[in-house]
Structure 1
């Protein structure tokens, strides 16, 4: 593109950028980040519109929160060149970082900077700021933001109230604060407020109080029903979950998925798979959660034939483009299922077919554990080093798989080496399962005295935690 074309192309872009509706402007002005940066360069080179605060504010919004052309680094760079940012500009940056799970603290920094310049927050500022604080999981910071909400007279804005309830509900030991916010705002509370309260208590395991809120809701939506259903499922109250499921006036895929997951998590695998089949026969297209739960149920029950049937269904669903995606989570679950069902060849096939760039800690762990459980201990150890070379860091679960591999293959020296590597190099604090694997390794190798000594070293927590065999020798 030459300078001769700048004026006409720039004028067209600015015209769209000025559209009265912000959402329309952000979704239609730029189709790529490169296009946005090119327009910014044109503004700088020509000098046109560089002093137009409305245009610069819209350009900043496009760089920060556009659904198709955003680039947070470019947005930060652009913001730093603005001598006197407006409240809209600060809100834009706070909003952008509230949606970025890697840097939510940046929202707080922009808010602090805004306050220091004397700009007052508004009802747009706080919901995004509260969302960032929720992600940071900082109760003290959350209370500080709540104080500012009250200080600026916005404690009766239902949108802000709902965000405060959700924030406090997500903090450990802060449900009482959520309840206080709700009680003080009950006259303006809407279905979202009530749902936030019941969800908070359900997530905390107090399904009795969650049901109290559910029963007193002036109105309910699908989220309300699903939240109560999830509360029962998480608490292991599968009978109550099924009764509530039967009472639901309408169900969506999340409702079915919640019930399937609940049964699978409680070890009721036959029931989980029965509901999975019922969902399919009802015309429901299962989401990722339901598919993973069905695969997990097959793995727990060691039902290879059912697992193969679920695998075929998943492959067909992905091929037919029914919304299912054979992503890393689903493939890792399939590897785990085939490993637990004893079909190591199929587990290896799925793992080998995964692109190296796609493999994450979960997929490597699934394959290492599958090898360990099926007597291929040395292959598991080799895979561990390949995992390291690929740049994926092992975690506590990885070492349970590795120590299990050493135990089943009686690799005593290797077991000691990996236990030391875990503690000394990776700074992972051993759990009961790690200690149990080591005691089991020593016992299987006939080193009973060493196993007992290791138990004493572990503080008496190791035995029986991983099916230790030292007392059965």
Structure 2
């Protein structure tokens, strides 16, 4: 009885599939499994699936989920002996919003070879595909085809052409399309052009258009706001934000990220807290910016609060947010919490592993960092240059000289990673901290590139630690010659003289520092603390 009822329901749905009104067909099936059952029923029952029925099956298959049931849709499409323009447009539209937008362009070429002509619904999605792929030459060809057959005046074609050229940073072509069809433009056209100028950093052009726009929507405001934030014009961003008639998560995200990029981390967190109180649910970008601000401030309590806020949203923490939390906890000294987040992650990428290794290195757990590196390799994750900087730093700070030397050899010989300045600096620091001053000098002498100041700075630090006053003095004087505006070099030489109780020399260097007005850096690297 139940089976009969189910069969009757399926037959009814198949009837609605062929309803003259397309919207009725689209609303009939709620899942891919239902549609597949209807498709199978048509095949098994021997019913002829004509072009119309196949087109409806195709339309429903691409409409059921946000990304479309592409495999099923693909099989339906290629089962149609002579696809119509509607069928081609359906597939082109679906692929334009998928992870494989290039397929829409292949279908367009197939469509032309079949003798069919595209219509005004074809070109917007083709241009969108080119925009997503940043393919300006194919996009230009498609736009020229639309112009050739007289469809370039359609507002959807205009808007997608402006967006395509803007996405490819061809603002001359984007502006030309806009000006040629200015009478037909709408708020989307203006916003697309403003976004294009904003993305390339031409804020003056973007601002002029923003002021001249006959109307603006939230996307327009956000495009201008994101542009200011991207180039760190935080005062302009804040003024614009305060003028906005409405805001969403993207608006708050742009402002917070702007403060973070400008190094105004406390202000970034203050804005984030205000957003949290406003009741707006934060997006991923905003959450990552807030976590990053906590990491830069080394504010563990703030970081914990942001983490609790994320949990309160009830969202599934993805790879990016989880990696940001691992990085933040590791940097702020919450290594246990970093490990908890790391262990709970269902997937990890190289940035996740590097963040965890960095956290362990910073917490003095050098052996654990090396163990984690072994697990990383067993997981099939390929290390990169950053991985080895973190590992060498861990070895340096924990006196693991032999392990560090093996890693440096493995990096170059096994993984074919060309050492950068930081790697050489880490190796000199590793040898120098262990008191192997002569070995450090020999390593520097064998470097295939000229030693940069950071390398000499690492050796100078080691000389001071181990009482090699004369060598440390000679290196520090050379560093001052190389970097006369680096205040840390003067301070380090002064400290060497202080350790040796050479008070007159110490006073002389301090006087020289004031005389030259050399500024001491606000931060220092892990391999060169001077």
Q: Distance in 2 between matches of 1:429 and 1:112?
A: 44
Given candidates 38, 54, 77, the residue that maps to 2:52 is: 54
Q: Distance in 1 between matches of 2:28 and 2:424?
A: 58
Given candidates 287, 292, 297, the residue that maps to 2:288 is: 292
Q: Distance in 1 between matches of 2:60 and 2:412?
A: 47
Q: Distance in 1 between matches of 2:318 and 2:177?
A: 40
How big is the shift at 1:131?
Answer: 1.7
| Aligned match of 1:17 | 17
Is residue 73 of structure 1 aligned with residue 71 of structure 2? yes
Q: Distance in 2 between matches of 1:396 and 1:64?
A: 43
Is residue 387 of structure 1 aligned with residue 384 of structure 2? no
How big is the shift at 1:344?
Answer: 0.9
Q: Distance in 2 between matches of 1:338 and 1:232?
A: 30
CA deviations on 1:271-302 (whole Å, 9 max, x unpaired) are 11111122233333333322221111111011
How big is the shift at 1:190?
Answer: 1.0
Conserved? CA contact 2:349–2:381, under 8 Å: yes
Given candidates 359, 377, 380, the residue that maps to 1:370 is: 359
| Aligned match of 2:488 | none
Q: Secondary structure of the equivalent of 1:187?
A: helix
How big is the shift at 1:340?
Answer: 0.7
How big is the shift at 1:407?
Answer: 4.0
| Aligned match of 2:500 | none
| Aligned match of 1:143 | 140
Q: Secondary structure of the equivalent of 1:366?
A: helix
1:151-300, aligned counterparts within 5 Å?
151-172=148-169, 174-300=170-296
| Aligned match of 2:96 | 98
The number of equivalent residue pairs is: 459
When structure 1 is superposed on structure 2, of 420-429 and 135-144 the one drifting more is: 420-429
How big is the shift at 1:229?
Answer: 0.8
What is the alpha-carbon root mean square deviation over aligned residues?
A: 3.0
Q: Secondary structure of the equivalent of 1:119?
A: coil
Q: Secondary structure of the equivalent of 1:28?
A: coil
Q: Distance in 2 between matches of 1:167 and 1:337?
A: 37
Task: Summarize the Cα distance change of 1:70–1:167 in structure 2 as closer, same or farther, 3 Å threshold.
Answer: closer
Conserved? CA contact 1:263–1:271, under 8 Å: yes
How big is the shift at 1:333?
Answer: 1.6
Q: Secondary structure of the equivalent of 1:123?
A: coil
Q: Distance in 1 between matches of 2:198 and 2:423?
A: 32
| Aligned match of 2:33 | 34
| Aligned match of 1:350 | 341
Q: Secondary structure of the equivalent of 1:236?
A: coil
Q: Distance in 1 between matches of 2:267 and 2:366?
A: 34
How big is the shift at 1:251?
Answer: 2.0
Q: Distance in 2 between matches of 1:331 and 1:439?
A: 34
TM-score (norm 2): 0.78
Q: Distance in 2 between matches of 1:365 and 1:207?
A: 36
Q: Distance in 2 between matches of 1:49 and 1:239?
A: 66
Q: Distance in 2 between matches of 1:28 and 1:435?
A: 65
The runs of 5 or more residues in structure 2 that have no matched partner are: 463-530
Q: Secondary structure of the equivalent of 2:184?
A: coil
How big is the shift at 1:3?
Answer: 10
How big is the shift at 1:351?
Answer: 1.6
Q: Distance in 2 between matches of 1:413 and 1:261?
A: 42
Q: Distance in 1 between matches of 2:16 and 2:450?
A: 69
The runs of 5 or more residues in structure 1 that have no matched partner are: 319-323
Is residue 452 of structure 1 aligned with residue 450 of structure 2? no
Q: Distance in 2 between matches of 1:419 and 1:189?
A: 59
Task: Summarize the Cα distance change of 1:30–1:256 in structure 2 as closer, same or farther, 3 Å threshold.
Answer: closer
Task: Summarize the Cα distance change of 1:338–1:108 in structure 2 as closer, same or farther, 3 Å threshold.
Answer: same
Q: Distance in 2 between matches of 1:121 and 1:426?
A: 50
When structure 1 is superposed on structure 2, of 18-27 and 324-333 the one drifting more is: 18-27
Q: Distance in 1 between matches of 2:91 and 2:448?
A: 52
Q: Distance in 1 between matches of 2:457 and 2:46?
A: 75
Q: Distance in 1 between matches of 2:423 and 2:37?
A: 55
When structure 1 is superposed on structure 2, of 264-273 and 39-48 the one drifting more is: 39-48
Q: Distance in 1 between matches of 2:300 and 2:225?
A: 29
Task: Summarize the Cα distance change of 1:325–1:140 in structure 2 as closer, same or farther, 3 Å threshold.
Answer: same
Is residue 44 of structure 1 aligned with residue 43 of structure 2? yes
Task: Summarize the Cα distance change of 1:380–1:463 in structure 2 as closer, same or farther, 3 Å threshold.
Answer: farther
TM-score (norm 1): 0.87
| Aligned match of 1:110 | 107
Conserved? CA contact 1:30–1:68, under 8 Å: no
Q: Distance in 2 between matches of 1:242 and 1:234?
A: 13
Task: Summarize the Cα distance change of 1:194–1:68 in structure 2 as closer, same or farther, 3 Å threshold.
Answer: closer
Conserved? CA contact 1:36–1:69, under 8 Å: no
How big is the shift at 1:431?
Answer: 5.6
Conserved? CA contact 1:410–1:441, under 8 Å: yes
When structure 1 is superposed on structure 2, of 225-234 and 390-399 the one drifting more is: 390-399
Task: Summarize the Cα distance change of 1:45–1:55 in structure 2 as closer, same or farther, 3 Å threshold.
Answer: same
Q: Which has the larger radius of gyration?
A: 2
Conserved? CA contact 1:30–1:69, under 8 Å: no
Q: Distance in 2 between matches of 1:404 and 1:183?
A: 56
How big is the shift at 1:122?
Answer: 1.2
Q: Distance in 2 between matches of 1:43 and 1:72?
A: 20
How big is the shift at 1:364?
Answer: 2.5
Is residue 470 of structure 1 aligned with residue 459 of structure 2? yes
CA deviations on 1:368-426 (whole Å, 9 max, x unpaired) are 22112222233223223323333444455444433433443454555565556556666
Q: Distance in 2 between matches of 1:425 and 1:121?
A: 53
Q: Distance in 2 between matches of 1:148 and 1:292?
A: 42
Q: Distance in 2 between matches of 1:111 and 1:175?
A: 26
